[in-house]
Structure 1
């Protein structure tokens, strides 16, 4: 059965940046060897099931799957515009440090601190802590990056 729009597809995958750095995988052993499993201890590294046409998966990966068949494998390069989009300066915000610290309560403010905008659910990461301001980047961590995926189709419904 050739994959087409609307199909439910299960894949095994490994995602890397052009320099070879691993950013995601369905392979538990690879995740443990690379340290990815310890960075995400609650994550279950297993094959991913997606519906082709669903907006929860980056367009470039969905496009690569169309036309493939169960058991087939490929390696695909995905440019930023078909991945997590370009890195946008408009998604970087600066906040008054005192107000920001009040907002986070008793949690410690540090570089990499993750926040989420209540109204939109948009996640962000503290990238700079100044004397009077805090800078938060709301871009996806892979925005602006080209991605390379090794994928194997393990099931199609």
Structure 2
């Protein structure tokens, strides 16, 4: 049976929870497992290390500290923008998540941290930055090259 190596393609279900047990993300809600390629940069090296050696059918939960998961919030990723930069149909309210178009055509989500008068504070840090997270994974398939 194949085990996860540095070159594996992996199909897995995961539940991502915070330390208080609240759910942050799950592939089980829509029954759509995640597909990932080890070493492609989509996961942190620490997360990948936790997967190495697991086999099809394995279930494992592991806790990652902020520096091993989504990092710590970076103050350089918080921007102050003028409200006029937002369209009339854009909900500029605290907590709203808005997709901002990048010059290369990709979109980057930003969280409105505060909207006061003409000033809007947008945080582009990962929403889970600074959080200890618990990953609960179930390996469905492993394809080794």
Q: TM-score, normalised by structure 2?
A: 0.85
Q: Which residue of 1 aligns with 2:90?
A: 107
Which consecutive unaligned segments of at least 5 residues does structure 1 have? 29-43
Q: TM-score, normalised by structure 1?
A: 0.79
From 100, 119, 132, the counterpart of 1:116: 100
Deviations 1:95-124 (A, max 9, x none): 123x32xx4244342223314142263321
SS at match of 1:64: helix
**Runs of at least 4 residues of structure 1 off by over 4 A?**
none
How do 1:1-157 and structure 2 match up within 5 A? 1-28=2-29, 44-97=30-83, 99-100=84-85, 103-113=86-96, 114-119=98-103, 121-157=107-143
* Structure with more strand by fraction: 2
SS at match of 2:62: strand
Deviations 1:73-97 (A, max 9, x none): 1111112122111111111111123
How many residues are paired up? 139
* Structure with more helix by fraction: 1
Which consecutive unaligned segments of at least 5 residues does structure 2 have? none
